[in-house]
Amino acid sequence: MKELLTISLYRLLLPVLFILAFPGWLLKMLRRGGFGSGLQERIGIYTSAPDFEPSGAVHFHAISVGETILALKLIREWSSQFPDTRIVLAVGTSTAHDLAVGQHLPQLRVTYIPLDFPWMIGNYLRRFEPSQFILLEGDIWPNFLRIANNQQIPVKLANARVSPRSSRRFLRFAPILRPFFSKISSVCIQEIEHASLWQSLGIAPQNIHHTGSIKFDTESTVAPVKSQEFTDILAEFGENRPIILAASTFPGEEVFLTEAIWNANPEALPVIVPRHAERRSEVLSTLTQAGFQVTLRTNISDSAPERKTEKAVLIIDTTGELATWTSHADIVIIGKSFLSKGGQNPAEAILARKPLILGPNMQNFQPLVRNLISSGAVLTARTPDEISSAIRIATVPEEAEKLTSKAFSVLSEHHGATKRHLNFLQQTPDHA
């Protein structure tokens, strides 16, 4: 009865939430150029005949770009071990769609995840007839879980991620959430300490598997490598300048971090990578007003004044290049950890053996960050002065070597996580 009341209320509210969110979503798609990539599939509309769709395939669901990258790791490993398996990857954004299609993986069908309206999900299921679903990290929707369960299609959760904030919410609303979460047949968790939470949400203990994080798997992740193109770009700003990368910054952090970098070492070149490239005009304006000479990555070929000035800044306003820029950095500062909350993924910088500076707000990457800090593997800072001090420490070669070695050791605890995932995802879940 509780489940019926909850799902009824959810179905009443869902159209209202959709109407409220639609204008913002439409504007975002216009900015990102998502139209023309098949976005109508998000509402269960398909323009091609269903005859040649991969019926009975394994379906991966990944909402964001980050989750899509994880899904692609799993798909490559799955295809390597079971090359005859038909696979569909359903994503939630046009950027993720472009990324997945651009991999050109053989026999991979890329589509969009339908919104959580029953008729849209019904169209999706009738078209593809999936054999099972593998959800990445947190793509959990009530209508989808109920319909998949009614049709006896196994739903599994891979690389399950629970932030401290999410954990508190899950526990608070566990009685309401349990009827839906219990429809997930198995969960692969990143940290053993999260097992009790998933049990409280209705997952049988034998179907909770500690695998480690695919995101942090040192076995399945190739360390970023340098690009001659990027080397040539950096040379325009002067030879032998220390490169300090601010990765995935959020509003306000660009000036905050750039000024700290300049105060630490006026000869350093700040390379700023905003989390959202469409903020380029805003970032350009705020840094220019702060007195810096700013060059956009997309304008690097344009004729420009001398770039070898002391207050030069390079803004990376393109997508998909962060890993490569990381390989060119001498020090990496993680964005969204100073003037926003949650933080960004530190794994690429660790794999590239770059010393890391973190702000106080890395909630989304616990307990990894907690382990990094307790091991003395990263530098932490809150204020611009503390950031400048951390930069000076990380510039010392001996200190940088200590930091990067310790960080890689902590990350190596997740070595083999992708293969462990595949081992459990291939199994038929036990029933309590």
How far apart are alpha carbons 253 and 339 in whole angstroms? 6
| Range 398-407 average pLDDT | 97
Of residues 422 and 169, more confidence is placed in 422
What is the model's pLDDT at position 397? Answer: 96
Contact between 343 and 243 (Cβ < 8 Å)? no
**Could you identify the residue written with the tokens 């526990």?**
171
Of residues 192 and 138, more confidence is placed in 192
What is the model's pLDDT at position 352? Answer: 94
Hey, where are the domains in the chain?
A: 2-217+416-425, 228-413
Of residues 2 and 336, more confidence is placed in 336
How far apart are alpha carbons 196 and 191 in whole angstroms? 11
pLDDT band, residue 366 (cuts 50/70/90): confident
How far apart are alpha carbons 46 and 44 in whole angstroms? 7
**317-337 pLDDT, tens digit each:** 998 899 999 999 999 999 999
Separation of CA 425 from chain center:
21
Of the ranges 30-39, 169-178, 250-259, 304-313, the best mean pLDDT one:
250-259
| Range 394-403 average pLDDT | 97
Superfamily of domain 228-413: Glycogen Phosphorylase B; (3.40.50.2000)
Of residues 95 and 263, more confidence is placed in 263
DSSP state of 299: G
**Could you identify the residue written with the tokens 């307990």?**
367
Contact between 392 and 264 (Cβ < 8 Å)? yes
Residue 427 has pLDDT above 80, yes or no: no
What is the model's pLDDT at position 73? Answer: 93
pLDDT band, residue 37 (cuts 50/70/90): low
- Lowest mean pLDDT, pick from 33-47, 118-132, 359-373: 33-47
Matching CATH topology for 2-217+416-425 and 228-413?
yes
**235-291 pLDDT, tens digit each:** 999 988 999 999 999 999 999 999 999 999 999 999 999 998 889 999 999 999 999
Pull the structure tokens for residue 136.
Answer: 């990445």
- Which of 191, 81, 196, 92 has its CA nearest to residue 139? 92
Q: What percent of the chain has pLDDT over 90?
A: 64
Contact between 352 and 375 (Cβ < 8 Å)? no
Of residues 2 and 333, more confidence is placed in 333
**157-180 pLDDT, tens digit each:** 999 987 777 788 888 888 888 888
User: What does the mean pLDDT of the chain come to?
Assistant: 89
| Range 30-42 average pLDDT | 65
DSSP state of 407: H
How far apart are alpha carbons 43 and 45 in whole angstroms? 6
What is the model's pLDDT at position 382? Answer: 96
What is the model's pLDDT at position 432? Answer: 45
What is the model's pLDDT at position 290? Answer: 95
pLDDT band, residue 224 (cuts 50/70/90): confident
What is the model's pLDDT at position 26? Answer: 65
What is the model's pLDDT at position 179? Answer: 87
- Which of 129, 111, 115 has its CA nearest to residue 48? 111
What is the model's pLDDT at position 35? Answer: 53
| Range 190-207 average pLDDT | 91
Contacts for 346 with CB less than 8 Å, ≥ 6 apart: 332, 334, 356, 358, 362, 365, 368, 369, 372, 378, 407
What is the model's pLDDT at position 431? Answer: 52
The verdict on pTM exceeding 0.85 is: no
Tell me the H-state helices in 82-193.
Answer: 94-101, 118-128, 142-150, 164-172, 174-181
What is the model's pLDDT at position 430? Answer: 59
Give the CATH fold of the 2-217+416-425 domain.
Answer: Rossmann fold (3.40.50)
